[in-house]
Amino acid sequence: MNAPLPTAQLRQQLYADMHPHNLTPLWEVLHALVPQQPNTPCVPALWKYDQVRPFLMRAGDAITAEEAVRRVLILENPALRGQSCITQSLYAGLQLILPGEVAPSHRHTQSALRFIVEGSGAWTAVDGERTTMRPGDFIITPSWTYHDHGSESTGPVVWLDGLDIPIVRFFDAGFAGNNTDKSQKVTRPEGTSLARFGHNMVPVRHDAPYGATSPIFSYPYERSREALEQLERTAPIDAWDGVKLRYSNPLTGGWPMPTIGTFMQRLPAGFGGKAWRQTDGAVYSVVEGEGEVVIARGEQEQRYTFGPRDHFVVPSWHTARLSSAKGAVLFSFSDRPVHQALGIHNEERLS
Ligand code: GTQ
């Protein structure tokens, strides 16, 4: 009779013998599979607009919007290069359209947001209605609606695209198709959706035209800014967020998009915010002003100074605090609606 194998050898033999049968022992990976707290592979990152813009303009020389279909530079998380994502669940990119160009009409099950960064006078069309893009506007392309972009501007127009591409990929639920028209036919005057749904009133007889997505497809900056300014003057300032509002779907009061939550906040001049952390990693676009963000996990700490049109990402369960000497306005988006739908959203406000 053979002597019994030592434990380590016994285990290795077991693993080797069952490997061809697509079996693997849980106890070797349990700690990583079920971590004590979120342990994202994402890292914080900052994209200074001054550094990004020349590459966008070179992309403008290198390819037309039509040939590219979408002329976009993807903001890739430095720890997830090659995966086309800024967090594990979200995609972000900067899209450029030049005067006279058209980005042809298509649709997909991925939902998109556009946050206008530079230039005015480009338009995007959704479901027969166009909206003019102005800096700071938040625009939605609902899942499976045809959309095309174009520009009658005199200069370049750049916006931030935020999509749920990694979420839809995770669920293997993506469909896409091209429209027969390069630019879809306009069937409603500009401003119809805002008039119907954007004045604290809604049509008496209506169905939600885009299911779980807001029927307002452009939330103009003018209005967001006015609300934040008034609240800064008249309401208490939150010690963590300054003055922060979330965008809402007027039909439900919930998030405007089923997968992506969007926010706009004002940091008053002289604001030194307290630190917080949350499970939803968030992408920020600086609208106005300047400030600093400190993002930390464990011993690692990143300190970024930001100005207009800069972008940065705060990954899941990293602590972050914002400050601003002169005041700033920040747009941000995250996958919080999904966390909330799954009952796994978590947030800590540190003192
Ligand atoms: O504008 O339809 O950045 O389909 C990535 C995929 C933009 C768009 C992106 C897209 C779009």
CA–CA distance, 193 with 97 (Å, rounded to integer):
24
pLDDT in tens, 124-174: 999 999 999 999 999 999 999 999 999 999 999 999 999 999 999 999 999
Closest-lying ligand 1 atom to the alpha carbon of residue 147? 2
Distance (Å) from CA 254 to ligand 1 centroid: 24
Closest-lying ligand 1 atom to the alpha carbon of residue 124? 1
Distances (CA, A) of 169 to 34, 81, 85, 111, 214: 22, 17, 11, 12, 23
CA–CA distance, 271 with 63 (Å, rounded to integer):
43
HSE on the CB side for 68, CA within 13 Å? 20
DSSP secondary structure of 261-316: EEEEEEEPTTEEPPPEEESS-EEEEEEEE-EEEEEEETTEEEEEEE-TT-EEEE-T
Cβ(336)–Cβ(261) below 8 Å: yes
Q: Has residue 267 got a pLDDT over 90?
A: yes
pLDDT in tens, 174-226: 999 999 999 999 999 999 999 999 999 999 987 899 999 999 999 999 999 99
User: Is the residue at 213 inside a domain?
Assistant: yes
Distance (Å) from CA 161 to ligand 1 centroid: 7
pLDDT score for 256 = 98
User: Is the residue at 29 inside a domain?
Assistant: no
pLDDT score for 1 = 62
Answer whether 0.85 is exceeded by the pTM. Answer: yes
Largest CA distance in the chain: 88
- Confidence grade of residue 2 (pLDDT, cut at 50, 70, 90): confident
CATH number at residue 316: 2.60.120.10
Nearest CA owner, ligand 1 atom 11? 70
pLDDT score for 64 = 97
Distance (Å) from CA 203 to ligand 1 centroid: 31
User: Is the residue at 31 inside a domain?
Assistant: no
Alpha-carbon dihedral sign for residues 142, 148, 151, 157: positive
User: Is the residue at 16 inside a domain?
Assistant: no
Closest-lying ligand 1 atom to the alpha carbon of residue 106? 2
- Please count the structural domains in the chain: 1
Across the chain, what does the average pLDDT equal? 97
User: Is the residue at 231 inside a domain?
Assistant: yes
- Ligand 1 first shell, C-beta below 6 A: 70, 72, 93, 95, 108, 112, 147, 161, 163
pLDDT in tens, 310-345: 999 999 999 999 999 999 999 999 999 999 999 999
User: Is the residue at 21 inside a domain?
Assistant: no
User: Is the residue at 14 inside a domain?
Assistant: no
Distance (Å) from CA 5 to ligand 1 centroid: 58
Radius of gyration of the chain (CA): 23
Distances (CA, A) of 58 to 64, 71, 349: 11, 11, 42
Nearest CA owner, ligand 1 atom 10? 70
pLDDT in tens, 12-25: 999 999 999 999 99
Closest-lying ligand 1 atom to the alpha carbon of residue 72? 3
Q: Has residue 38 got a pLDDT over 70?
A: yes
Mutate to test the pocket of ligand 1, among 90, 163, 311 (most ligand atoms within 8 A of CB): 163
CA–CA distance, 62 with 72 (Å, rounded to integer):
12
Which residue has tokens 């934040």?
228
Q: Has residue 244 got a pLDDT over 90?
A: yes
Amino acid making up residue 204:
V
pLDDT score for 5 = 83
pLDDT above 70 covers a percentage of the chain that reads 100
Distance (Å) from CA 39 to ligand 1 centroid: 29
pLDDT score for 4 = 82
User: Is the residue at 27 inside a domain?
Assistant: no
Closest-lying ligand 1 atom to the alpha carbon of residue 108? 4
Distance (Å) from CA 243 to ligand 1 centroid: 31
Q: What is the mean pLDDT of residues 34-63?
A: 98
Distance (Å) from CA 276 to ligand 1 centroid: 31
Print the domain residue range for 133. Answer: 40-349
Q: Has residue 121 got a pLDDT over 70?
A: yes
